[in-house]
Structure 1
Amino acid sequence: MPPAHPFDDDKLREECGVFGVVGVTDAANFVALGLHALQHRGQEAGGIVTHDAETGFNQARRMGLVRDNFTSADTMQILPGTIGIGHVRYSTAGSKGQTAIRDVQPFFGEFSMGGAAIAHNGNITNAMSLRRELIERGSIFQSSSDSECIIHLMARSMGRTIPDRMEEALRKVEGAFSIVAMTRTKLIGCRDPLGVRPLVLGKIGDGWALASETCALDIIGAEFVREIKPGEMVVITAEKGVESHFPFRPNRARFCIFEHVYFSRPDSILGGRSVYETRENIGRELAKEAPVDADLVCPVPDSGTPAAIGYSLQSGIPYAMGIIRNQYMGRTFIEPTEQIRNMGVRLKLNVNRALIKGKRVILVDDSVVRGTTSRKIKEMILDAGAAEVHFRIASPPTAWPCFYGVDTPQREKLLAATMSEEEMQTHLGVDSLKFISLDGLYRAVGEAKGRDKNAPAYCDACFSGEYPVAPSDMIEQGFQAKTAAE
């Protein structure tokens, strides 16, 4: 299945989104709405599991978008119940960019004390070794997903309850995980001890909701209560409400800083901060660090927009929509000829020629990964008659792959892994190129003194190469992690 935007291969792919509710009528409808709000986190496939007293567990897993699969009355009628969880997926690096229906979550397992379903956002960095061990002991895997390891570990646990079994299973797991799970009556949420991926708690009437982001609570009219803490497990029932446990050894939190830069929706709240305001602050910091004389500040739509606004406000250079995005460029676009394929990014973006002609333009984007799209956009701007093109990037150079649930190219395919900033400027053919510094990014997200090199407040491995959890499976395959001396 093609990516959501066939010509946009120069972005880090969103990882996954999870959502769950308990104590509401027609839970599946709430889950579908929540997943729709989280669609930016995964567009390849989605699934919903519910439980009803009469029909038991019910599930539907589909390839494609939520709006195309979970809006018909026929589909929603097979998902009755007052409790349900769901998942939207984009396949991560380990799956080689392809999703099969067998890999679509939530996964379901039947245990001695009853059934349970689980949906996972993140990546298990020791999944290969766990999988080998489980297969040697007789487990039979139905998918290629690392998340299925959790179900098998739960099956081998001797815990008396499903939450007990989940705790035991997750203690054997390394990496990043935000999980929503369900039994017949319980909604369960859990974050890894570092809290790399987000998970929030909401209240809707007499019921409760768990979601990857607050924007998914907004769409169902739920009240945001709080974030699930790093290393916390919550067990929620309609009768007793929220029970909190901390099954893991305490650790210093390392939330993914790229959630602030790109992954999360700008209308979400992370760590008590508006994502939109944080991105605007990033633009302001970028303008302080990398000023340039120009006539217009233009975002690369849509992810560069808040940072471009911040850059404009800080610099005093007018903001303008110099590039217009075709909002109807969908995943089903067919490429009938080589000529159309060569049009590339022009099928998605078009330059506002009357605005650009003769102007010195600052283009603000959230990141540069391979650099392919950046070169095409630069060519479009120059073809439209721009006098100068200056790139300003609202994140530091992405020089290291992510192993915590983000589909990142191999390191040698990351432009910043093989080129200096000056070499990248020459490669892209722009008049200037500047990235925000890592300290500047930290200041923008609220760390006034910048990054503490001895105790960074975030996971920034994609920029620094310092992995808070060793990517043991990848190291086993020969990946050279950064040493302390570097």
Structure 2
Amino acid sequence: MKLYRPTEECGIFGIYGHPEAANLTYLGLYALQHRGQEACGIVSSDGRSLYTHRSMGLVADVFGNQEIFGNLPGESAIGHVRYSTTGDSVLKNVQPIKVDYSRGSIAIAHNGNLVNAQYIKDELEAWGSIFQTTMDTEVILHLLATSKHSSLEDRIIDALGRIKGAYCLLFLTETRMVAARDPHGFRPLCLGKLGDAWVVASESCALDLIEAEFVREIEPGEIVVITKDGLTSHFPHKKIEPAPCIFEFVYFARPDSYIFGKNVYQVRKDFGRQLCREHRIDADIVIPVPDSGVPAALGYAQEAGIPFELGLIRNHYVGRTFIEPQQSIRHFGVKIKLNPVREVLKGKRVVVIDDSIVRGTTSRKIVKMVRNAGASEVHVRISSPPTSYPCYYGIDTPTRKELISSSHTIEEIRKYITADSLGYLSEEGLLQAVGAGSNPFCKACFSGGYPITFPRLMAEPQLDLF
């Protein structure tokens, strides 16, 4: 069984007005690789035409040949890294998607999920539209192409007025780049400057790599249009209460990124501190489940006054797939990625910090691994509330029946993962640690309170573990 983690759908990056646009986009995607490892692509513009290179695989592999960049000319480019949450994992679904239509060429890169995509697709197909992919993103292109408005900006506004859900979008034509973020602001998107060039990225860590200046975050509901004449900002949608995804702080975003007005690393340390206040335990050492558990474990250890140690070492060179023996190595999927340091764990009362428990199978194997390495006690602490509901806004989570906390109490989960004790960060503590204040977050994966509802939210069979 694989070491399961929820996975983000994708990351996007774009730059306008730089002579090395495609090369810098490659570097930006490299910094955003954590947001998607299935496939990637770049579309560039030289002011007359759009040029494309897309493939399955990691950024370094897809763009490993320097000659590729000779086929991506121009001073503007957008790029995309993908992990599919809608649509099959095949080449035709790799983004950015480029199309030619009556008004020229346009490419699109999308982070998020549209909750009404199938309804719109059925309607468009009834009127004769033909879809080339199985992604919800293509719906946006069809709406844009069939819009009666004359300007690109108005056609984009028209198309976005029809869709519901989570989206951060980059559009590229021969002469302009357009960025858009949904009115709820589910996913992060930031704006930067590199000399005279404008840069847009899912996370600020991509700006850091190319030494671009962080200007600001693109606001929920904002559309930014960049041309040779400069940048203009539009807010065409009705203003609604923002709902940025709290799980970006818990797990997805890189610790060095600045999102939703906060540094991710500092927020995760504060999660750990608050977790300790709520679930302090007498122990000898605190260890993280690397890598996402590290900042929270540091915060917990500092608050508790207990030594922080690296009791589990992660193999960073494991790819997405590997040949697994049938019976010869127990818990192979976990052991190939994590290995205990026996000298650190032997005879110790250990607090294990992780960011979440999804199905519970990985946590169970980690607890047994730590105990088999000689730990006298294993106490598990989770730096987020129980994940009881699936996400429909751009994160690949299991169905509700596969989420262990949807049908089992914390004590039942403790017994299943064989820990001596188990404690989750409360919802109140989570929001307090992130400093939510008057800025609400989407925490539907914990509470089931979805900001945008739709027919797919129906009761599902429960997971039977015992």
TM-score (norm 2): 0.96
**2:298 pairs with one of 304, 309, 314:** 309
Offset from partner CA, 1:290-322 (integer Å, 9 cap, x none):
100000000000010000000001010110001
1:42 and 2:36 correspond: yes
* Residue in structure 2 matched with residue 3 of structure 1 by the alignment: none
* Residue in structure 1 matched with residue 217 of structure 2 by the alignment: 227
CA distance in 2, matches of 1:39, 1:438: 29
Question: 1:384 deviation in Å?
Answer: 0.6
CA distance in 2, matches of 1:371, 1:145: 30
* Structure 1 range deviating more: 73-82 or 56-65: 73-82
2:46–2:74 contact (8 Å) kept in structure 1: yes
Q: How does 1:273-292 map to 2 (within 5 A)?
A: 273-292=262-281
**Structure 1 residue ranges without an equivalent (≥5):** 1-5, 481-486
* Residue in structure 1 matched with residue 441 of structure 2 by the alignment: 458
CA distance in 1, matches of 2:103, 2:62: 32
* Residue in structure 2 matched with residue 248 of structure 1 by the alignment: 237
Q: Aligned partner of 1:127: which letter?
A: A
1:128 and 2:118 correspond: yes
* Residue in structure 2 matched with residue 112 of structure 1 by the alignment: 102
2:244–2:260 contact (8 Å) kept in structure 1: no
Q: How does 1:186-225 map to 2 (within 5 A)?
A: 186-225=176-215
Question: 1:446 deviation in Å?
Answer: 0.8
Q: Aligned partner of 2:319: which letter?
A: G
1:75 and 2:68 correspond: yes
CA distance in 1, matches of 2:114, 2:47: 33
* Residue in structure 2 matched with residue 426 of structure 1 by the alignment: 415
Question: 1:332 deviation in Å?
Answer: 4.8
**Structure 2 residue ranges without an equivalent (≥5):** 461-466
* Residue in structure 1 matched with residue 371 of structure 2 by the alignment: 382
**1:89 pairs with one of 58, 82, 105:** 82
* Residue in structure 2 matched with residue 7 of structure 1 by the alignment: 2
Question: 1:183 deviation in Å?
Answer: 1.0
1:63 and 2:56 correspond: yes
1:175–1:471 contact (8 Å) kept in structure 2: no
Offset from partner CA, 1:388-434 (integer Å, 9 cap, x none):
00000011000000000000101000010010111111111110000
CA distance in 1, matches of 2:409, 2:239: 38
1:167 and 2:157 correspond: yes
* Residue in structure 2 matched with residue 369 of structure 1 by the alignment: 358
Question: 1:73 deviation in Å?
Answer: 1.3
CA distance in 2, matches of 1:34, 1:346: 32
Question: 1:74 deviation in Å?
Answer: 2.0
Shift in CA distance, 201/404, structure 1 to aligned 2, threshold 3 Å: same
CA distance in 2, matches of 1:154, 1:324: 49
Q: Secondary structure at the match of 2:7?
A: coil
CA distance in 1, matches of 2:166, 2:392: 9
CA distance in 1, matches of 2:42, 2:152: 19
Q: Aligned partner of 1:79: which letter?
A: L
Q: Secondary structure at the match of 1:363?
A: strand
2:183–2:220 contact (8 Å) kept in structure 1: yes
Q: How does 1:334-349 map to 2 (within 5 A)?
A: 334-335=323-324, 338-340=327-329, 342-349=331-338
CA distance in 2, matches of 1:241, 1:8: 46
1:116–1:162 contact (8 Å) kept in structure 2: no
* Residue in structure 2 matched with residue 19 of structure 1 by the alignment: 13
**1:33 pairs with one of 27, 31, 37:** 27
Q: Aligned partner of 1:193: which letter?
A: P
1:8–1:373 contact (8 Å) kept in structure 2: yes
Shift in CA distance, 175/479, structure 1 to aligned 2, threshold 3 Å: farther
2:331–2:365 contact (8 Å) kept in structure 1: no
CA distance in 1, matches of 2:47, 2:274: 55
Question: 1:338 deviation in Å?
Answer: 4.2
* Residue in structure 2 matched with residue 52 of structure 1 by the alignment: 46
Question: 1:327 deviation in Å?
Answer: 1.6
Shift in CA distance, 240/460, structure 1 to aligned 2, threshold 3 Å: same
* Structure 1 range deviating more: 103-112 or 331-340: 331-340
CA distance in 2, matches of 1:7, 1:446: 35
Q: Secondary structure at the match of 2:8?
A: coil
CA distance in 2, matches of 1:138, 1:447: 46
Q: Secondary structure at the match of 2:395?
A: coil
1:282–1:441 contact (8 Å) kept in structure 2: yes
Question: 1:209 deviation in Å?
Answer: 0.5
Q: Secondary structure at the match of 2:414?
A: helix
2:388–2:403 contact (8 Å) kept in structure 1: yes
CA distance in 1, matches of 2:341, 2:291: 15
**2:450 pairs with one of 461, 467, 477:** 467
Q: Aligned partner of 1:157: which letter?
A: S
Q: Aligned partner of 1:363: which letter?
A: V
Q: Secondary structure at the match of 1:175?
A: coil
Q: Secondary structure at the match of 2:356?
A: coil
CA distance in 1, matches of 2:330, 2:210: 40
1:411 and 2:406 correspond: no
Question: 1:273 deviation in Å?
Answer: 1.5
CA distance in 2, matches of 1:53, 1:375: 55
1:19–1:31 contact (8 Å) kept in structure 2: yes
TM-score (norm 1): 0.92
**1:400 pairs with one of 378, 389, 397:** 389
Q: Secondary structure at the match of 1:470?
A: coil
1:113–1:161 contact (8 Å) kept in structure 2: no
1:335–1:341 contact (8 Å) kept in structure 2: no
User: For the aligned residues, what is the CA RMSD?
Assistant: 1.4
1:400–1:461 contact (8 Å) kept in structure 2: yes
Question: 1:52 deviation in Å?
Answer: 1.7
2:391–2:444 contact (8 Å) kept in structure 1: yes
